[in-house]
């Protein structure tokens, strides 16, 4: 007999645990901060590295991400999304800031499947959660056309505006906006189960 497949409820338990850790960080509990770092930093680092491409720079940005989380934990609200989504938002912002500072050359992004693969590296204790997340992400990406994936990758990983994407791809601005809009609609629909459970 095979192993039972993890359910979305696994994500919910993990998300609730992270909420409790963030509440600890709000009251300056260093143990809570250490645990939060331990269970989330691999995924956060993977995203940052995906954007900045240089491991040493990614490590510096990672420090900035958790310093910001330490200072701004009180701003986190469960109503606005999961703890992981909050950390990823901070990480993406800090990584793009580093790119725009001119210290990194922009490079072509790898396929978005890397997000799912990176999720699998969170740790043994979270293997079931990571496996389920990887499956959902893979299914969502498969629903996009190559053209839609391309514009979304450029926008998310390189922080390009619609106008910049149109210039880089040599496509009309209206075409880029349409591809982005349709692609995001498909992604939201495919990832709706995770959103409903507060994971994304």
Domain with CATH 1.10.10.10 in the chain: 130-195
Band (23; pLDDT cuts 50, 70, 90): very high
Which one-letter DSSP state was computed for residue 120? T
The answer on pLDDT for 109 being more than 70 is no
What distance in Å separates the CA atoms of residue 63 and residue 135, rounded to the nearest whole number?
29
The whole-angstrom separation of Cα 53 and Cα 25 is 29
Nearest in space to 69 (alpha carbons), one of 96, 32, 103, 42: 32
Q: How many CB atoms lie within 10 A of CB 63?
A: 10
97 near 52, Cβ under 8 Å?
no
The model's pLDDT over 139-187, given as tens digits with 9 standing for 90+, comes to 777 778 889 888 888 888 788 888 999 999 999 988 998 888 888 888 7
3-state secondary structure of 43: helix
CATH 1.10.1740.10 range(s) for the chain read: 11-107
CATH 2.30.29.30 given to domain 11-107: no
Nearest to 172 by CA among 141, 144, 145, 151: 151
- The CATH number of the domain covering residues in 130-195: 1.10.10.10
pLDDT in tens, 63-84: 899 999 999 999 998 887 888 8
- CA–CA distance, 121 with 43 (Å, rounded to integer): 7
Q: What is the mean pLDDT of the chain?
A: 76
């Amino acid at each position: 007999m095979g192993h039972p497949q993890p359910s979305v409820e696994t994500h919910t338990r993990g998300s609730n645990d992270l909420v409790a850790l963030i509440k600890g960080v709000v009251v300056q509990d260093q143990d809570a901060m250490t645990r939060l770092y331990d269970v989330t930093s691999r995924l956060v680092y993977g995203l940052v590295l995906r954007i900045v491409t240089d491991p040493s720079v990614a490590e510096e940005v990672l420090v900035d991400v958790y310093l910001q989380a330490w200072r701004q934990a009180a701003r986190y609200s469960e109503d606005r999304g999961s703890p992981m989504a909050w950390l990823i938002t901070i990480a993406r912002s800090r990584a793009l800031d580093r790119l725009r500072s001119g210290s990194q050359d922009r490079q072509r992004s790898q396929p978005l499947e890397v997000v799912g693969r990176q999720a699998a590296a969170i740790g043994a204790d979270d293997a079931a959660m990571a496996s389920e997340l990887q499956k959902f992400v893979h299914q969502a990406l498969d629903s996009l056309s190559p053209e839609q994936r391309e514009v979304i990758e450029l926008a998310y990983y390189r922080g390009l505006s619609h106008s910049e994407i149109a210039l880089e791809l040599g496509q009309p601005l209206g075409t880029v906006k349409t591809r982005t809009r349709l692609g995001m609609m498909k992604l939201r629909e495919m990832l709706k189960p995770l959103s409903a459970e507060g994971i994304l």
